[in-house]
Amino acid sequence: MRIRLSASIIATALAAAAVSAVISVSVTRTAGQASRPVRTVDGKPNFSGVWQANNEAHWDLQAHEARAGAVMQQGVYPYQYAQVPAAPVLALGAAAGVPGSLGVVQGDGEIPYTPAAAAIKKENAEHWIDRDPELKCYLPGIPRAMYMPYPFQITQSTNKIHMAYAFATTARTIHLDKVEGPPDDTYMGHSVGRWEGDTLVVDIRNFNGKNWFDRAGNFHSDALHLVERFTPITPDAIRYEVTIEDPKTFARPWRIAMPLYRRLEPNIQILEYPCIEFAEEFLYGHVRKQQLVKRWEGETIIVDITRKVPPGDRFYEWYRK
């Protein structure tokens, strides 16, 4: 009797384990959240949800050491390692520092700029405050929108995938069906997708060439062509890869790769980051008749600010960059 009872218990346990295994294939559960299907009704991986990168790529795609500020200037000695934070970031202390990173550029870790483009990249880094489109709250473009330090939401259907980003209330649609091309080039480009097994492959063209890849001055032209690949690692992690091609800027195609993570808070949602209004004084304060932001005084630092208007056509060029 005991033997039969033990066998029955074992059989029941095995059956329960088998049912549990089947359920785990189709449904994932997170503490505090309702059940979420791992696949959509058409059998594709379910990417719907709120996601975010967790790395330092928004500072610099390439490997880099930590430094004391996003803008630096010469210190006591004329060596790069002895530089100190420049005036625009000095008052922010360690909060204005740049964290180090192993980088996300695949292969040898180098971005293969042409010689002319490499010179522009160097100038961009030196003039980050004036040139980075992020500071002006311009649309971030792809792939930069995918790894900025803000969450984004994916809403997936059978023929469209919509991505909404917190930064600048940006959005894009990935077309899985046949559509006409856009009437003009844009910051976010034109995304056309297809499935290769469980990998979502997205082809993007029609960029206007006004975006950067990061805060380090890495940039591209209007000839940019991207191929993104979204491959599920687990129900809550995606491997994100991008092949980057731009013959006006780079000597050859190159790739970046990183994981994207699902935000698991039970009440997670995209909250607007209204940087357009936040950047108004930065963008237009220098053309006010009466300057507003002139001076800030703390316990150890006094900051005096003098705004200036670039002469001639440089005035308009500053907004275009």
pLDDT at position 317: 86
How would residue 107 be classed by pLDDT, with cut points 50, 70 and 90? Answer: very high
Q: CB burial class (10 A; 0-12, 13-18, 19+) of residue 189?
A: buried
Rounded to an integer, the average pLDDT of 155-171 is 96
Nearest Cα to 211, choosing from 224, 202, 201, 229?
224
Q: Which long-range contacts link 114-122 to residues 24+ away (Cβ below 8 Å)?
A: 114/249, 114/250, 114/251, 117/219, 117/248, 117/249, 117/250, 120/219, 121/217, 121/218, 121/219, 122/217
How would residue 28 be classed by pLDDT, with cut points 50, 70 and 90? Answer: very low
Rounded to an integer, the average pLDDT of 14-38 is 46
290 vs 274: CA distance, rounded Å: 25
230 vs 61: CA distance, rounded Å: 19
Residue type, 90: L
pLDDT one-digit tens code per residue, 258-295: 999 999 999 999 999 989 999 999 999 999 999 999 99
- Higher-scoring residue by pLDDT: 274, 320: 274
90 vs 216: CA distance, rounded Å: 18
Residue type, 78: P
pLDDT one-digit tens code per residue, 194-238: 999 999 999 999 999 999 999 999 999 999 999 999 999 999 999
pLDDT at position 320: 73
pLDDT one-digit tens code per residue, 49-67: 999 999 999 999 999 999 9
pLDDT at position 3: 40
For 152-185, b where at least 16 C-beta lie within 10 A, e where not — what string? bbbebeeeebebebbbbebebbbbbeeeeeeeee
265 vs 233: CA distance, rounded Å: 20
Residue 316, SS3?
helix
pLDDT one-digit tens code per residue, 72-89: 999 999 988 899 999 999
pLDDT at position 36: 73
- Higher-scoring residue by pLDDT: 80, 28: 80
Rounded to an integer, the average pLDDT of 144-155 is 98
Nearest Cα to 240, choosing from 195, 200, 187?
200
Please determine, for residue 18, whether its predicted confidence score (pLDDT) is greater than 90: no
CA 145, 148, 150, 155 torsion-angle sign: positive
How would residue 35 be classed by pLDDT, with cut points 50, 70 and 90? Answer: low
* Average pLDDT across the chain, whole number: 89
pTM of the prediction?
0.87
Nearest Cα to 167, choosing from 155, 177, 153, 179?
153
